[in-house]
Amino acid sequence: MASKRKVQRIDINLKWCKRCGICVAFCPKGVYEKDPSGEPQVSNLEACTECRMCELYCPEYAVMVIEEA
């Protein structure tokens, strides 16, 4: 049986991010939250299921889910 990969980290390119909140809204597991300035922050990496909804729906391509090798 193949072992499931784990998410190592999630990179958010804040230079590209427009602080729209789509990554926060579309994440089914609540991995993100907005800080007081509206920037998305990874607050619960362990909950990530690698669905990549954040990557798919980010209009600025500012989110990247990085898996273990």
The answer to whether the beta carbons of residues 29 and 54 sit under 8 Å apart is no
Q: What are the φ/ψ torsions at residue 36 (nearest 5 degrees)?
A: -55, -25
Task: Report how far residue 28's alpha carbon sits from residue 45's, in angstroms, rounded to the nearest whole number.
Answer: 13
pLDDT (tens digit, 9 = 90+) per residue, 23-64? 999 999 999 999 999 999 999 999 999 999 999 999 999 999
**Could you tell me the residue ranges of all domains in the chain?**
7-67
The candidate with the shortest Cα–Cα distance to 37, out of 17, 58, 57, 52, is 17
State mean pLDDT over 4-20.
Answer: 90
pLDDT at 68: 80
- The domain 7-67 having CATH identifier 3.40.50.300: the answer here is no
Half-sphere exposure of 26 (CA within 13 A, CB side): 15
